[in-house]
């Protein structure tokens, strides 16, 4: 299934949309990424002001400590996450910063800030509707009529993941060459709304962000359901761009850099979804065993 995708990757490098921002802050918190799911303006870099990073368990969850200072959100709320595994992952982001803190590399921190501050003031139902709305403009559902080589490539690479989603969720997902886009049955929306309702609001923030990166709800479902790897999902989301790059060439360093950024954002938000969907009680039980 991936043969032609890999040929594209080998034949030319990538062209992505440059990242629009980065994560959080500390005592004087920095904003986050501006995207449908994250409404903070990107912060600037700053000199690292702490030596040690640790986590502690408080009444509201797990907290991050920078030396003796507790991490705060951009709205000055106590930075508290629901699971120890997520706290460790966030602490690792802060601990891995060198002499300069590069907030735009700290995607897990940013997603936590967004979940805690909720800058767009959306409830669970609104987050679910926002995620399902990506079906209307889903990358894998928009097809070209020519050239034939690209038509065939889209059919070979995108049809299998659509067929998987239809079988997995018992829905119908159409593709179209019309500029108006595909017609998505109401039943399909209802089923996916019901499925997404099983996630908590933190995980839904991550799901919407993944869909925004990949411009596809179908690919997002494949990714969080472990049907696709991050590399496969990113490549499928950029299939037409890869085709054009192979045909016309690329810009030397820019495509590689931006591809890695897209992979990093997608990987971090996928990890965020899974860490937010797991019970910290189960984790402690497993650790004891």
- For 147-168, write each residue's pLDDT tens digit: 999 999 999 999 999 999 999 9
What's the CATH superfamily of 124-277?
ATP12 ATPase (1.10.3580.10)
Locate the domains of the chain by residue range.
53-117, 124-277
Residue 185's contacts (CB-CB under 8 Å, 6 or more residues apart) are: 171, 172, 174
> Who has greater pLDDT, 27 or 67?
67
Contact assessment for residue 138 and residue 216, using Cβ atoms and an 8 Å cutoff: yes
Nearest-CA neighbor of 206 among 273, 274, 114? 273
pLDDT digits (tens, 9 = 90+) for 71-111: 999 999 999 999 999 999 999 999 999 999 999 999 999 99
User: Structure pTM?
Assistant: 0.81
Task: Decide if pLDDT at 262 tops 80.
Answer: yes
CATH of 53-117, one of 3.40.50.970, 3.40.47.10, 3.30.2180.10, 3.30.420.40: 3.30.2180.10
């Amino acid at each position: 299934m991936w043969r032609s995708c890999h040929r594209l990757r080998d034949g030319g490098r990538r062209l992505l949309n440059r990242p629009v921002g980065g994560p959080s802050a500390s005592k004087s918190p920095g904003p986050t990424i501006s995207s449908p799911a994250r409404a903070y303006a990107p912060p600037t870099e700053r000199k690292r002001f702490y030596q040690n990073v640790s986590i502690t368990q408080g009444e509201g969850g797990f907290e991050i400590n920078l030396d003796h200072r507790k991490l705060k959100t951009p709205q000055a709320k106590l930075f508290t996450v629901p699971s120890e595994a997520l706290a460790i992952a966030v602490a690792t982001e802060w601990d891995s910063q060198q002499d300069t803190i590069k907030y735009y590399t700290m995607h897990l921190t940013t997603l936590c800030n967004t979940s805690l501050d909720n800058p767009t003031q959306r409830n669970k139902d609104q987050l679910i509707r926002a995620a399902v709305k990506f079906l209307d403009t889903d990358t894998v559902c928009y097809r070209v009529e020519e050239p034939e080589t690209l038509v065939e490539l889209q059919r070979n690479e995108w049809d299998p993941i659509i067929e998987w989603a239809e079988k997995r969720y018992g829905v119908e997902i159409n593709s179209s060459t019309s500029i108006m886009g595909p017609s998505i049955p109401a039943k399909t929306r209802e089923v996916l709304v019901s499925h997404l309702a099983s996630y908590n609001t933190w995980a839904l923030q991550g799901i919407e962000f993944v869909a925004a990166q990949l411009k596809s709800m179908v690919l997002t479902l494949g990714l969080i359901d472990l049907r696709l790897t991050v590399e496969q999902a990113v490549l499928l989301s950029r299939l037409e761009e890869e085709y054009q790059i192979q045909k016309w060439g690329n810009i030397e360093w820019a495509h590689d850099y931006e591809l890695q950024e897209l992979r990093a954002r997608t990987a971090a938000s996928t990890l965020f979804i899974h860490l937010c969907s797991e019970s910290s009680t189960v984790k402690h039980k497993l650790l004891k065993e």
